[in-house]
Amino acid sequence: MRYFSSLNSISSRLLVTGLIPLSLLSMLMAYYFISHQRAEMLGNLLETGNIAVRQVSQNTAFALYSGDRQSLDSLSYATLETPSVAGIMFFSYTDQEPIIIGDITVEKIPENFERAEPFEFDGNWYFFAEILSERTPIMDYEKTIQYEPEKIGWVLVSLSDQLMREKELSFFLTAATVVSISLLLAFWLSIRISRTVSDPLEELTAVVAKMESGDLNGVAPEDGITELAQLSRGINGLATSVRESNQLMQSEINQATSELKVTLVKLEEAMRAKDQFLARMSHELRTPLTAVLGFSNMLFTEESENKREEQLRVIQRCSTVLLTMIDDVLDFSKTEQGGFNFNNSVFALDKFIEDLAALFRLQAEEKGLVFNLELDHKVPTTIYSDSVRLAQVITNLVNNSIKFTESGSVDLHLTRVDSDKDHDHLKFVISDTGKGIVKDKIPTLFEPFTQEDTSINRQYGGSGLGLSIAKRLVKAMNGEITINSEVNVGTEVTFTCLLDKTNQAPEALVLSLPSERVATSEDILSGTSILLAEDNEFNQKFMVKLLERHGAICAIAKNGQEAIEMAEVGGYDVILMDLHMPIINGIEATRIIVERNEHYLPIIGLTADITESEQNKLLSAGAQSIQLKPVNEEQLVNSILELVGIQSQTVKFSGEGMLASVLPVEELKQAINKNLDSLESCLHADEKMQIRPLIHDLLGFCGLYGMTGLREIVLELKSSHAVLDNAKNLQQVKHIRQFVKESSIFN
Amino acid sequence: MLGKAVCFPPAIMLLVFLFVSTNSYSNKLEHTLFILSKDTPDYRKVVNIITADWVKSKKYGYTVLIQDQKDEVDKLLKTSDIIVTLGTVAADRVLAKKINQPVINTLITQSAFDSLAVKYYGDKAKAIASGVNPIILDQPFERRLNLARHLLKNITDVGVMLGPSAADRFSFYTDSINQRHLKPQMLVIDPDKNPIRQLDPLIKTSDVFIPIADSHFINVTTAKWILQLAYRHRVPVIGFSYNYVAAGALASVYSSPEDVAKQSIELIDALLTKDYVHQEHLPEYCTVKFNETVAWHLDLSIPVELERNTGPCDL
């Protein structure tokens, strides 16, 4: 195999293809010359013999006829001097006696020697001829009379082929030598020729191999055979092209890398800001939550009606703060995930601004400030835009001004900058006489999770997302936002927006102000049959208790499979579907139920996952709405009412806190501790397959009851338990247990 | 028959002209028929010389035929005034017919004529008496002997080879030699024996060698050995033909075509005379030729006066 594989190389093939014909040619030529030489030597021998026998027969006729042995000897010896002539035998018909001269004997002559043609016998060639006497035409008038020549006798000339064989051997040796030299020469020539082709090809192959391994600096020789030189030029050109491309690509990579580094730095900064934000958020969320929980607990023991009312107000205020912060975060999350959804409508701009101004004025007055509104007369009365988003921007900016102004005033000035037949270009200027902002901090204010300094957060609170959200909203409305500020003088924030003109009548505006159309009822869900699909036993109890307090009739499905089966049986007005469940998850179960049920059966998804992707999946599967965990009792009940069509109005719950009233704190604590015990047991037993469902249950508790801090450290366990050893996982479980122990929820 | 004019029809004349390839004219009554043994240049030459004067003088009409043109020969044999044969074969054909017209046999050896005469007429005299007139081709032996004497002054031994046909003239030859005070060395060759072995002793002991013409076979078989032995023993040979001297004889005395033609013309003229008597004619004329190379080899000088070219033979 190795031998045959070596024949696959070009040099071997060229060698073989060159050597074989040359070898064959040399051998054929040798064969031809040897055979030709042999034939020629034989021809010479035969010719010599023929001449000799002819001469002897012609010249010795008289001597033989006359019996002149002396003359016969003399003539014969002259012939015997001819090379190869060995002997001569005469026979005279007159004497009937053979005359032998030289190396020939009567005993040795072959039979049938009287042949016209020469023949070989016993290593000698024999030539026979009759000895004739021609008739001399001496008559003058009878010339035409012809007589046969008179036969006097015959002669047999013997020629030895020894000399011919010696010459033949000599020539054969010479030819063999010449052929050997020719073969060697052919071999050498074939190697040279094959190398003239194979060497450049091997060099080219080496260059290509180098190129393949990434070394593009190899240069193929461009001399030698024309085609190979052309190929070399092509390869060199290709290498140059690839090298240049690589350099260009490397340059682009370097540029991209440097850009990436810059981006990475920015990202790191953003992440750092986000971490700071999260830390702050954690603090900010914990603070009102702690207050809410603390005051909620106090409500159980507080007997004074006034104090209970005061405690409830604190709880409400803290909850509002929490809600605002969560809304900000959700808004920002929306912008991060693809922008805002604008629900444009025609509304009266002047009325809109004046309503807002009334709210701002109230807030300002509560702080001892003056709020001034100035509307330019060119400002259009009606516009086509999203009033909620516009209000969100204005409110954010004005609230900031009110927040950071301790004395003086806050002004809102609205003008129309430009207008064409389709658009109005409006400019809003919010100015205050607050503490002002350091100039070099102004550019960073629009970055998310950024405030002028950390003390602001501690002093004034806020998520640090307000200006970032406002800027993105303004940009979405084809406008710009700028800040001019002077420390201890005040700040002026200006934003513009390009709004569509409209001739339509304005719609009634519904601002996010406390609604007067509020109904309260503890039996509002009376008669409503609800299927609760929830795998967590504690959550089941909690949700059932909550819904039954409003008069609902609840049935429980422990997983998606049960939910599907129970839904098929029917009899439910609405299904509350948890997202993460064993056997079949909430999304899949929703899809199947919607597919299988011919009748309308509304499904409300329950999830602690705030990402839109998960929510979209659930909605795509067929859910009508989604309620985020921790469950907002009011939103949940209103959502059920809306879907089942019992009440078209929004239900407003009293501030007594029904959710808190149904929360079985001690049971929750026990459930969590039981879960943690199981978790520790599994870790000790190294039963990792059981860890994941337990963590999921823990996350369910956190989601349902909004235990964000707990959720974070449980999530940390979830993400790291697979890669950490059991000792570290147990350490984390211990940490969670300590967190639960110290949590204000359970104290 | 003589003097009688023969008139041929034009068609026959044309036929003769075409097939016989001869010249003739018929305004004379005398007509001569020439019959050739073979159509050879020598025979033609003889005829041409004979008829050359006839063409000029329009003296006689004649026809030339080859002997194997049997029909024409037979026909003209009857109508021709004189028949001239050239060669032995033509003579044989004519003598076989035993015609009445005079016949002239030319280019025939003595032995051949004698043989034919006996064959067809019983003996030579009857043949001659019947109008046959041979002109013998053989030059008389004496002429060659005389030439030898003139050419070779100090010779004594004269070697003579006779064939079977000439064996009966053995004494004639010895007498001729003896008359000239020379010593004959005679050999009658035996055709069945090795000629060299017979000739070698004779030639070796002769001062000059004179072969006698015999049958054609004997002549050509022995000539080669005679010449080679003569050359080896440095013995001059006096031959009897032009070809002999050409083959290596020192000299030859022979009858050339001109010699024969001249004698034939004279004989034809003689036949026309009333007092002519039919007879055998020996050659009146002869030609003598020498081989200069052989003479040089034998260290001999050839006297110019010995050469003869178609003239009266005075040897």
User: Residues of B at the A interface (Cβ-Cβ below 8 Å)?
Assistant: 38, 40, 42-43, 87, 107, 137, 194, 196-197, 200, 216-217, 219-221, 223-225, 227-229, 239, 241-244, 247, 254
For the segment A599-627, the average pLDDT, to the nearest whole number, is 81
A94: chain B residues, CB-CB within 8 Å: 194, 197
Collapsing DSSP to helix, strand or coil, A17 comes out as helix
pLDDT at residue A3 greater than cutoff 60: no
Decide if A150 and B228 are in contact by the 8 Å CB cutoff.
no
For the segment A430-452, the average pLDDT, to the nearest whole number, is 81
Determine the pLDDT at residue A469.
83
pLDDT-wise least confident of A143-147, B111-115, B188-192, B307-311: A143-147
* Min distance A111 CA to chain B CA atoms (Å): 29
Give the chain B residue nearest A137 (alpha carbons): B220
pLDDT at residue A181 greater than cutoff 60: yes
Give the pairing of strands B308-312 and B285-290.
Answer: antiparallel
pLDDT at residue A553 greater than cutoff 70: yes
pLDDT-wise least confident of A59-73, A334-348, B10-24: B10-24
* Min distance B249 CA to chain A CA atoms (Å): 10
For the segment A644-652, the average pLDDT, to the nearest whole number, is 58
State the Cα–Cα distance between residues A598 and A600, nearest whole angstrom: 7
pLDDT bucket at B19, cuts 50 / 70 / 90: very low
Determine the pLDDT at residue A505.
66
A142: chain B residues, CB-CB within 8 Å: 87, 216
* A123 vs A659 pLDDT, higher one: A123
pLDDT at residue A670 greater than cutoff 70: yes
Q: What angle do CA B278, B280, B284 make, to 5 degrees?
A: 115
Decide if B241 and A140 are in contact by the 8 Å CB cutoff.
yes
Hey, is the C-beta of A62 within 8 angstroms of any chain B C-beta?
yes
* A373 vs A659 pLDDT, higher one: A373
Hey, is the C-beta of A407 within 8 angstroms of any chain B C-beta?
no
Instruction: For A121-139, write each residue's pLDDT tens digit.
Output: 888 888 999 998 888 888 8
A146: chain B residues, CB-CB within 8 Å: none
A65: chain B residues, CB-CB within 8 Å: 194, 196, 225
Whole-number average pLDDT of chain A: 80
Report long-range pairs for B244-250 (Cβ below 8 Å, ≥24 apart). B244/A138, B244/B211, B245/B289, B245/B290, B245/B291, B246/B291, B247/A136, B247/A137, B247/A138, B247/B223, B248/B291, B248/B294, B249/B291, B249/B294, B250/B151, B250/B290, B250/B291, B250/B294, B250/B295, B250/B298, B250/B300
Count other C-beta atoms under 10 Å from residue B272's C-beta.
Answer: 15
Count other C-beta atoms under 10 Å from residue A576's C-beta.
Answer: 27
Determine the pLDDT at residue A277.
64
Instruction: For A211-251, write each residue's pLDDT tens digit.
Output: 888 787 778 888 777 887 888 888 888 888 888 888 888 88
Give the chain A residue nearest B107 (alpha carbons): A141
For the segment A636-662, the average pLDDT, to the nearest whole number, is 62
Determine the pLDDT at residue B6.
37
A67: chain B residues, CB-CB within 8 Å: 197
B220: chain A residues, CB-CB within 8 Å: 135-139, 145, 147
CA neighbor of B40 nearest in space, from B100, B91, B107, B121: B107
Select from B223, B229, B242 the Cβ nearest to the Cβ of A140: B242
Whether the bond into A630 is cis, omega within 30 of 0:
yes
Hey, is the C-beta of A65 within 8 angstroms of any chain B C-beta?
yes
Determine the pLDDT at residue B120.
95
Determine the pLDDT at residue A296.
80
The residue of A69, A134, A141 whose CB has the most chain B CBs within 10 angstroms, and thus the best one to mutate to test that interface, is A141
State the Cα–Cα distance between residues A64 and A140, nearest whole angstrom: 29
A141: chain B residues, CB-CB within 8 Å: 40, 42-43, 87, 107, 137
Determine the pLDDT at residue A609.
63
Determine the pLDDT at residue A517.
34
Q: CA distances (Å), A276 to each of A284, A329, A450, A462, A711, in order?
A: 12, 14, 9, 13, 18
Decide if B239 and A138 are in contact by the 8 Å CB cutoff.
yes
Give the chain A residue nearest B86 (alpha carbons): A141
Determine the pLDDT at residue A511.
38
Collapsing DSSP to helix, strand or coil, B288 comes out as strand
Decide if A140 and B223 are in contact by the 8 Å CB cutoff.
no
Collapsing DSSP to helix, strand or coil, A235 comes out as helix
Select from A133, A134, A138 the Cβ nearest to the Cβ of B241: A138
* Min distance A160 CA to chain B CA atoms (Å): 34
* Min distance B74 CA to chain A CA atoms (Å): 24
Backbone angles phi, psi at B187, to 5 degrees: -145, 125
pLDDT at residue A705 greater than cutoff 80: no
pLDDT at residue A516 greater than cutoff 60: no
State the Cα–Cα distance between residues A328 and A400, nearest whole angstrom: 14
For the segment B81-106, the average pLDDT, to the nearest whole number, is 93
Whole-number average pLDDT of chain B: 86
* Min distance B299 CA to chain A CA atoms (Å): 24
For the packed helices A586-596 and A612-621, what is the interaxial angle rounded to 10 degrees?
20
Determine the pLDDT at residue A713.
79
Determine the pLDDT at residue B16.
38
pLDDT bucket at A596, cuts 50 / 70 / 90: confident
pLDDT bucket at A536, cuts 50 / 70 / 90: confident
Determine the pLDDT at residue A251.
87
For the segment A23-29, the average pLDDT, to the nearest whole number, is 82
Q: What angle do CA B29, B32, B33 make, to 5 degrees?
A: 135
Decide if A137 and B243 are in contact by the 8 Å CB cutoff.
yes
Decide if B197 and A67 are in contact by the 8 Å CB cutoff.
yes
Determine the pLDDT at residue B261.
93
The residue of B194, B212, B217 whose CB has the most chain A CBs within 10 angstroms, and thus the best one to mutate to test that interface, is B194
Report ipTM (2 d.p.): 0.80
Select from A62, A94, A138 the Cβ nearest to the Cβ of B228: A62
Determine the pLDDT at residue B233.
93
Decide if A140 and B243 are in contact by the 8 Å CB cutoff.
yes
CA neighbor of B114 nearest in space, from B168, B33, B192, B174: B168
B221: chain A residues, CB-CB within 8 Å: 135, 147, 150
Select from B196, B229, B243 the Cβ nearest to the Cβ of A138: B243
Determine the pLDDT at residue B8.
40
Determine the pLDDT at residue A468.
83
Q: CA distances (Å), A92 to each of A64, A150, A296, in order?
A: 6, 12, 167
Instruction: For A276-302, write each residue's pLDDT tens digit.
Output: 666 666 666 666 677 777 778 777 877
Give the chain A residue nearest B106 (alpha carbons): A141
For chain A, percent of residues with pLDDT exceeding 70: 84
* Min distance A154 CA to chain B CA atoms (Å): 16
For the segment B177-206, the average pLDDT, to the nearest whole number, is 93
pLDDT at residue A428 greater than cutoff 80: yes
pLDDT bucket at A641, cuts 50 / 70 / 90: confident
CA neighbor of A696 nearest in space, from A681, A711, A674: A711
Hey, is the C-beta of A147 within 8 angstroms of any chain B C-beta?
yes
CA neighbor of A419 nearest in space, from A357, A342, A504, A496: A496
Decide if A140 and B200 are in contact by the 8 Å CB cutoff.
no
Contact pairs from chain A to chain B, CB under 8 Å: 64
Decide if A141 and B225 are in contact by the 8 Å CB cutoff.
no
* Min distance A147 CA to chain B CA atoms (Å): 8
Decide if B227 and A136 are in contact by the 8 Å CB cutoff.
yes
For the segment B175-204, the average pLDDT, to the nearest whole number, is 92
Hey, is the C-beta of A133 within 8 angstroms of any chain B C-beta?
yes
B224: chain A residues, CB-CB within 8 Å: 133-136
For the segment B68-91, the average pLDDT, to the nearest whole number, is 91
Decide if B87 and A141 are in contact by the 8 Å CB cutoff.
yes
B254: chain A residues, CB-CB within 8 Å: 140
For the segment A173-186, the average pLDDT, to the nearest whole number, is 83
For chain B, percent of residues with pLDDT exceeding 70: 90
pLDDT bucket at B181, cuts 50 / 70 / 90: very high
CA neighbor of A746 nearest in space, from A282, A285, A294: A294
For the segment A323-328, the average pLDDT, to the nearest whole number, is 70
Select from A137, A140, A150 the Cβ nearest to the Cβ of B42: A140
